[in-house]
């Protein structure tokens, strides 16, 4: 019997010690402060209202990996100038690595062509995490913002990181504070990385509603809402039984 080898991703940092102090971690290990508040609200109110957390949001937060800032950095902006910024860090970077920590992409790169939010700096801030990576040939990494962060200071740009094209992990940020000084602490989540297939041929089917579709939809609504505890395992098992019966009836 032959077993398919699992896809893999390997990260290493050019600055010794970062992999210990602020490693890239599985997304399901990151703790969101707002999510703990949701959990508390759920515990306090479920008996009265039956409220529950959206599984799509929670499942998304648990996918892939979280990349954090390796050093503190401070960004200073001026409300009279939405294109420029100043930055500083408390350490002398040359003591660790001879490479820039913070860089920029001017408005000619993107914001001249893509509509930015009105509260966003026209210049994209680049954070060199000093991480390098490699992966198995069958995957690439989808880089995306932290979906529901604990702040509204910045948003990471979205893109595909393909090790066939580059190995550096430089996170590009859209900055949303146009007037003032804000410090991002080392360990602050910058972006989320989700492994996806490098090549995936998917057939798109846009179809009309069938009686089977309607039955499954109504059964799903009942099976996941008929009690205070959302039981997705029950839905999964019942869905299999329902589909098996529908297939037998068609024969």
Domain region containing 230: 211-250
Q: Quick check: is 206 in a domain?
A: no
Q: Are residues 151 and 233 in the same domain?
A: no
Dmax (CA) for the chain in angstroms is 73
Is residue 1 situated within a structural domain? no
- Tell me whether residue 203 is in a domain: no
Q: The tokens 């820039």 sit on which residue?
A: 100
CA distance 215 to 213: 5
> Which pLDDT score is estimated for 107?
80
We report the CATH number of the domain holding residue 39 as 2.70.40.10
The answer to whether 184 and 153 are in contact (CB under 8 A) is yes
The distance of Cα 202 from the centroid of its chain, to the nearest Å, equals 23
Predicted TM-score of the model (pTM): 0.81
- pLDDT of 139 higher than 90: yes
Q: What is the pLDDT of residues 165-221, one digit of tens each?
A: 888 999 999 999 999 999 999 999 999 999 999 988 889 889 898 887 888 788 777
Percent helix, strand and coil across the chain, each rounded to 5?
A: 25, 30, 45
Note whether 67 and 190 are within 8 A (CB). yes
Q: Report the distance separating Cα 111 and Cα 106, nearest Å.
A: 8
Domain count, the chain: 2
122 and 52 assigned to the same domain: yes
């Amino acid at each position: 019997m032959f077993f398919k080898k699992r896809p893999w991703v390997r990260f290493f940092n050019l600055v010794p010690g970062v992999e210990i102090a602020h490693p890239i971690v599985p997304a399901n290990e990151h703790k969101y402060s707002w999510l703990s508040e949701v959990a508390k609200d759920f515990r306090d109110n479920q008996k009265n209202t039956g409220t529950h957390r959206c599984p799509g949001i929670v499942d998304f937060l648990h996918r892939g990996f979280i990349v954090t800032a390796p050093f503190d950095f401070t960004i200073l902006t001026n409300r009279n100038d939405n294109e420029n910024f100043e930055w500083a860090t408390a350490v002398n970077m040359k003591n660790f690595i001879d490479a820039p920590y913070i860089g920029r992409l001017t408005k000619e790169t993107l914001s001249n062509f893509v509509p930015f939010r009105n509260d966003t700096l026209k210049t994209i801030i680049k954070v060199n995490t000093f991480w390098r990576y490699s992966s198995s040939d069958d995957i690439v990494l989808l880089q995306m913002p932290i979906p529901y962060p604990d702040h509204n200071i910045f948003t990471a740009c979205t893109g595909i990181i393909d090790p066939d094209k580059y190995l550096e992990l430089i996170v590009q940020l859209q900055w949303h504070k146009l007037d003032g000084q804000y410090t991002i602490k080392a360990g602050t989540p910058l972006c989320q990385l989700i492994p996806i297939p490098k090549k995936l041929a998917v057939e798109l089917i846009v179809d009309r509603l069938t009686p089977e579709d309607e039955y499954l939809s109504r059964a799903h609504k009942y099976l996941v809402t008929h009690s205070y505890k959302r039981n997705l395992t029950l839905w999964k098992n019942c869905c299999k039984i329902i589909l098996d019966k529908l297939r037998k009836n068609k024969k």
